[in-house]
């Protein structure tokens, strides 16, 4: 057991030396902006909105707010943390639409500048429950753009509901990944909407609940991995025969 532990210590030490020699551990990801918004929007009257707008925020951030209009609401809960080259963003969405024709919306933008080639990964889903006899829709989308450019680099998500002849209840998954390049400022955005398109009968509710989990982690360079694979067995072998 002691020999195994010693080999593990040598391996971890070598891993740190290799990473330091390549500069992989010296760079830091920068979060330049966190922007979150929740809105309730009747078709025939002004909307109500709650939002957060943070520039160069400190890590971690834990925020919550609710936009409320009558018995309709759009709630958002947000947790964000980052250190070194890695970051995590968790978003929880809660929609309740009742009493009028209109929509509830949750949207946000994360502006991130990685300092090394990184993998963006997203996993999430929106579960919706609407009246079967009325027109309604639910949607969840996540996109990535380079800041200052009109084109979209990455899109994942979908919309569903009775408005598109879909089912009144269901789940919209949102899963995908994308490679981010060092030094670029990326605009990562999400939007989720619950909507109805009829004057609702008394007591009818359009509900939507979901989560979006975003992670950004560095990609080890091939040279780093090759050097690591070569160095660890050599040092362990050398230690064994000293």
Sequence ranges of the domains in the chain:
1-24+220-242, 27-219
Q: Is the pLDDT of residue 96 over 70?
A: yes
Antiparallel, parallel or unpaired: β 72-83 and 61-69: antiparallel
CB atoms within 10 A of CB 126: 28
Q: Enumerate residues 6+ apart whose C-beta is below 8 A from 97.
A: 40, 72, 103, 104, 194, 195, 196, 205, 206, 207
Does 236 score more than 60 pLDDT? no
**What's residue 10's pLDDT?**
46
The CA-atom distances, in angstroms, between 14 and each of 27, 192, 202, 229 are 19, 46, 68, 10
- What number is the average pLDDT over the span 85-96? 98
Summarised one tens digit per residue, pLDDT across range 48-65 is: 999 999 999 999 999 999
Local confidence band at 241 (pLDDT 50, 70, 90 cut-offs) = very low
- How far apart (Å, rounded) are the C-alpha atoms in residues 22 and 146? 27
pLDDT at position 72, please? 98
What average pLDDT does this structure show over 136-153?
97
pLDDT score recorded for residue 230: 53
What is the structure's pLDDT at 220?
81
Dist CA 210 CA 212 (whole Å): 7
State whether the Cα torsion 69-71-74-79 is positive or negative.
positive
Q: How confident is the model at residue 123 (pLDDT cuts 50, 70, 90)?
A: very high
Confidence of residue 17 (pLDDT cuts 50, 70, 90): very low
Question: 21-30, 50-59, 95-104: which has the minimum mean pLDDT?
Answer: 21-30
pTM over 0.85: no
pLDDT at 26: 52
Give me the pLDDT at residue 15, please: 42
Mean pLDDT of 77-104: 98
The pLDDT tens digits for 147-197 are 999 899 999 999 999 998 899 999 999 999 999 999 999 999 999 999 999
**Going by C-beta distance under 8 Å and a sequence separation of 6 or more, which residues neighbour residue 204?**
98, 131, 134, 196
């Amino acid at each position: 057991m002691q020999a195994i532990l010693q080999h593990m210590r040598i391996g971890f030490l070598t891993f740190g030396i290799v990473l330091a020699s390549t500069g992989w551990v010296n760079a830091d990801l920068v979060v330049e902006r966190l922007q979150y918004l929740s809105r309730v929007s009747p078709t025939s009257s002004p909307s109500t909105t709650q939002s957060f707008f943070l520039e160069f925020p400190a890590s971690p951030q834990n925020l919550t707010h609710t936009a409320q209009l009558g018995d309709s609401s759009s709630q958002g809960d947000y947790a964000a943390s980052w250190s070194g080259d890695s970051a995590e963003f968790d978003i929880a969405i809660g929609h309740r639409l009742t009493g009028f024709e209109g929509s509830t919306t949750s949207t946000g933008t994360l502006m991130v500048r990685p300092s090394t080639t990184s993998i963006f990964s997203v996993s999430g889903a929106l579960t919706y429950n609407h009246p079967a006899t009325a027109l309604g829709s639910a949607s969840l989308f996540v996109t990535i753009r380079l800041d200052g450019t009109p084109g979209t680099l990455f899109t994942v998500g979908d919309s569903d509901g009775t408005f598109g002849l879909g089912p009144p209840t269901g789940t919209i998954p949102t899963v995908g990944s994308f490679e981010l390049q060092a030094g670029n400022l990326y605009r990562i955005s999400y939007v989720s909407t619950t909507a109805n398109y009829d004057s609702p009968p008394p007591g009818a509710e359009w509900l939507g609940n979901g989560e979006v989990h975003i992670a950004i982690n560095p990609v080890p360079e091939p040279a780093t991995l090759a050097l690591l694979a070569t160095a660890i067995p050599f040092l362990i072998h050398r230690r064994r025969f000293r």
